[in-house]
Amino acid sequence: MPNAATLFEYAIDKKASDIHLLVNHKPVLRVAGELYDVENEPVMTDVDLERVVRQLVTPEQFERFRAQKELDAAYSVSGGRFRLNLSWEKNHMSVVGRLIPNEIPTMEQLDLPAVVRAFTELPHGLVLMTGPTGSGKSTTLASMLEYVNNVRRVNLITLEDPIEFIFAPKQAIIRQRQLESDMLSFAEGLKHVLRQDPDVVMVGEMRDLDTIATTLTLAETGHLVFATLHTYNAPQTVSRIIDVFPPYQQTQIRLQLAMTLRGVVSQQLLPRADGGLIAAREILVNTPAVANLIRENKVEQIENVIQTGLRMGMQSYSQELKRLVRDGFITEATAKEYSPVEDNQSK
């Protein structure tokens, strides 16, 4: 019988970022971006996978998974935690686990530029961490929050689905709240967070209009708010937030976003030249010029400001790719493959 703890501890031992469990297939690990079968494990049957799933979640979660067909959860073994997504595929269960290491890396270990540290020292405003699924957003954001925890005497509240990195209070008071077990929705959790005397709030994901609206209001009322979005770059991030709202509200939202936004860090993970992965980041700082473009609905011009904003700590993906090639972290071929579409079209 497959054992969940053994499988997930094996994934940690092999330095996998993800583990995939599906019927009629051996367990699969993603290591340094590549997928590998776990050779010493048999092909999993429906019975095998259900037994593993029942080891991963509580009986209540299992029943909810059967009823709702989707479930996000967390699972811990010695060496790390996993963020789980359970789903159904052609009437079979399926599991994907993303490794959340026990140790929170420092901003120096992640090679985060000085401007990102400056974001963590702000008294209020909105800082967005964006990127596609699997781009390391959670790790980067955790390192920023851990810096806050180390140096600022603040009340830090996180709203997550599920809780990923576990923070041990240092200088900060920390409350980590999990969707469903600690709150009914992100929007509801945010509505009540104002009565919890917060200084810094982290919103695991701005998923819908209510969550985005409440997040903007929270940042507007004197709090430092960190949040994530599944967008590829800073201009797309600004557009996504505005476009969520009906047309009659968009002028107001542009004004609110121009006033509250402090910065956007957009991240992708690229193959390193010597093996493994490395983060490439685009960084937007909300200068008066950027705020004016947001207010005037000229979001498409933000990229030009990023390109010329090095002095303020900004950097575009193109500039970051050139730096990574110059310093030998990635190859020219990788830079070309991951360069923005407009760059490829101009070549």
- The structure tokens listed for 94 are 């399926």
Q: Are 317 and 342 in contact (CB under 8 A)?
A: no
- The structure tokens listed for 111 are 């090679």
- Whole-angstrom distance, CA of residue 67 vs CA of residue 254: 40
Omega within 30 of 0 (cis) for the link into 162: yes
Percentage of residues in the chain having pLDDT higher than 70: 98
Cα torsion through 59, 74, 225, 320, rounded to 10: -150
Return per-residue pLDDT of the chain as tens, 347 residues. Answer: 578 999 999 999 999 999 999 999 999 999 988 899 998 889 999 999 999 999 999 999 999 999 999 999 999 998 889 999 999 999 999 999 999 988 899 999 999 999 999 999 999 999 999 998 888 999 999 999 999 999 999 999 999 988 889 999 999 999 999 988 899 888 889 889 988 999 999 998 898 999 999 999 999 999 999 999 999 999 999 999 999 999 999 999 999 999 999 999 999 999 999 988 999 999 999 999 999 999 999 999 999 999 999 999 999 999 999 999 999 999 999 999 999 865 544 44
Give bridge partners of residue 120 from the DSSP assignment: none
What's residue 1's pLDDT?
A: 56
Q: Are 225 and 218 in contact (CB under 8 A)?
A: yes
Give me the domains of the chain, ranges plus CATH numbers: 4-101 (3.30.450.90), 114-346 (3.40.50.300)
